[in-house]
Chains A and B, each alone.
Chain A
Amino acid sequence: MLRNALTVRGHSQWAIVFAVGMSSILLPVSGRAQDATRGSAQTGQVRPRSEKQVQEPSPDQFERLHKLIKPQPGEWKFSEIPWVASVGEARQKAAREGKPLFIWYMVGEPLGQC
């Protein structure tokens, strides 16, 4: 339960600090070509994939799908902040520039999987 709570809290932080409006873009990419649906979302039944069902997407389909999964314009606002790699480096930079430190803590990697 503790782990569960921490994880949830971690995400809420990520969400709150860097919340941005979700882009309304919708970029359809063929799901049929690469991944024939096998089963029902309602029943959870699964028919396993066979080798023949894994069709190669066209280069264009692949490119579009790859781009679709990655962050879209307007997402990942937190990444616009020039995060400094270590606490020591941040302290030195802050001292040099006469700025305060903003230290973001998370259970997990704030800039990675959290």
Chain B
Amino acid sequence: VNKVVDLIKGNFVAVAVNQLNGVDQKSANGKFIFSLGQRQANYFQVATPGGQLVAGMALSGTTGDARKEVFAALKKWQQMPESLRKPASITDKEAAEPALNSSAEVSARGLVIRVYQRNMKRDAKGEYALITRNDLKDKKVYQDPAWFWGNAIYTEPMPDIMWLTETEWKSLIPANANKGATFNVPAPVQKRLFRYHLVDGTFGLPGSWKLSDIQREKLTLTVEETKPAIRMRLHGYALLATDPDLSKAKHGYDAAIHGVLTYNPAKKTFTRFDVVAVGDCWGGDWEGGRFSRGGRAPLGIALELATGERAGDHVPPKGANFDKDLKERYFLAQKK
């Protein structure tokens, strides 16, 4: 049982804020956040809806549990005078103010796809398997103490989001869908997938691949069924490496890619977008390899349609976050 989760669920209204691109200081939301005072890079605050800070705490470090501090903050709030706890009147205009990082770029017509990136292992049979806490006892393989942080958080998948514009997802639907027909995935979609989402984000904030890092690539769709829906099989591979001479490449991912995409003509939408990329990854990400696993290690990446039900479905892709330039490049992945 994770009691801090239950504590927050039962007693608070929770909101998550990207400090780099989540609030505009000039907006009502931003003014509220900044009125709560200083906070560190990664932090939580408890506040009244009217803007009275109750408690704040950095959540950095490698040990500890925030439950005690969150509980103390709740007690402190309960002991505050009614005049401070009394809910302020929050206008509908303020409440409707979207976060800066909302998915306006894809709008209701775009396609939002969940991405999961997971450190994996091969078991004794050479098959892909989950890394367990017990595995982490092998210090030759899992050398970094960070593997034990947060009850082995790095054995869990890291989430990301992939965006496709309306034009892009429509480009995946063949004009004349004949059973057995095979066609290449259009470059804007393929390059975005490869460069921004076939990355090792398992340890946090990965970079993206340069166009020149795509050493070998192929991605095709084959029509398997045409009625009542168009079902297509995705198949291909991507060899991504920082040097064409793989013996010199400090970072790479050699992935096989498979998927099943289903388009419903009646609903005019994709109803399935399941994709898996698996293969060995080596070297570090843009953190300089701080958490890189030794040698080559299995990295599994899975995609599926976002339903909109999770709050995380509404955040932007990491590759399109942080600044306008990055966002522009994300949508021009096949060019620059």
Contact = CB atoms under 8 A, between A and B. Distances in A.
A12 to B, nearest CB: 6
A60 interface: no
Contacts of B298: 31
Contact of B99 (A20, A53, A87): A87
B94 interface: yes
A40 B62 CA distance: 32
Interface string A79-103: 1111111111111111111111111
Interface in A49-84: 49, 51, 53-54, 56-57, 62, 65-66, 68-72, 75-84
A112 B19 contact: no
Contacts of A13: 42-43, 59-60
A88 B254 contact: no
Interface stretch (B165-173, B185-193, B234-242, B262-270): B234-242
Interface in B83-121: 85, 87-90, 92, 94-99, 101-102, 116, 118, 120
Contacts of B280: 35, 37-39, 46
B44 A109 contact: no
Chain B CB within 10 A, most for which of A75, A87, A98, A105: A105
Interface of B: 2, 4-5, 8-9, 11-20, 23, 28-29, 32-33, 36, 39, 41-50, 54, 59-66, 70, 73-74, 77, 85, 87-90, 92, 94-99, 101-102, 116, 118, 120, 122-123, 125-130, 132-134, 146, 149-161, 201, 203-206, 215-216, 218, 233, 235-237, 239, 241, 246-247, 249, 252, 254-258, 260, 274, 276, 278-280, 282, 286-288, 290, 294-298, 300-302, 304, 310-312, 314-318, 321
B203 A11 contact: yes
B17 A46 contact: no
Contacts of A40: 295-296
Q: Which 6 A/B pairs are nearest by Cβ-Cβ distance?
A: A15-B150, A113-B318, A95-B87, A41-B295, A13-B59, A83-B311
Contacts, number: 413
A70 B150 contact: no
Contact of B95 (A6, A24, A69, A89): A89
A77 B255 CA distance: 29
A32 to B, nearest CB: 5
A30 B298 CA distance: 13
| Chain A interface category by residue count | 35 or more
B46, B95, B97 — most chain A CB neighbours (10 Å): B95
12 contacts: A17-B44, A46-B252, A65-B128, A81-B14, A82-B9, A87-B99, A100-B13, A105-B44, A108-B18, A108-B20, A109-B316, A114-B205
Given A31-B126, A66-B274, A80-B5, A71 B116 contact: yes
Nearest to A42: B295
Contact of A107 (B16, B20, B125, B256): B20
A43 B282 CA distance: 11
Given A8-B204, A70-B116, A92-B94, A109 B315 contact: yes
A83 B236 contact: no
A82 B311 CA distance: 8
A91 B49 contact: yes
B116 A48 contact: no
Given A18-B2, A65-B300, 8 more contacts: A12-B149, A22-B156, A28-B123, A46-B254, A69-B116, A99-B12, A100-B48, A106-B17
